[in-house]
């Protein structure tokens, strides 16, 4: 599974772990994360993440 890093604050979205703060279940691939996803640390949008 892949990891994606917020370019603004460095938060790591790990597909294996998901993101409880944003209601994204563990095992959710980045392509399946909703387009309105926001970084739980800084509020950046999904477009501000890049493959780590």
- What is the structure's pLDDT at 39? 98
By the 8 A CB rule, do 9 and 50 touch? no
- What is the structure's pLDDT at 26? 98
Work out how many domains the chain is built from and give that number. Answer: 1
Q: How far is CA 48 from CA 6, 40, 44, in A?
A: 6, 13, 6
pTM: 0.93
Q: What is the per-residue pLDDT across 17-32, written as a single tens digit (0 to 9) for each?
A: 999 999 999 999 999 9
DSSP line for 2-48: -EEEETTT--EEETTTBBGGGTBPTT--GGGS-TT-B-TTT--BGGG
Query: What confidence category does residue 1 fall into, taking pLDDT thresholds of 50, 70 and 90?
Result: very high
- What is the structure's pLDDT at 10? 98
Q: Name the residue range of residue 45's domain.
A: 3-51
- What is the structure's pLDDT at 30? 98
By the 8 A CB rule, do 48 and 11 touch? no
The domain that contains 28 carries what CATH number? 2.20.28.10
């Amino acid at each position: 599974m892949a990891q994606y890093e917020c370019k603004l604050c460095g938060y790591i979205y790990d597909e294996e772990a998901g993101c409880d703060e944003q209601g994204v279940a563990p095992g959710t691939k980045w392509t399946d994360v909703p387009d309105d996803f926001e970084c739980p640390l800084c509020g950046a949008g999904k477009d501000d993440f890049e493959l780590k």
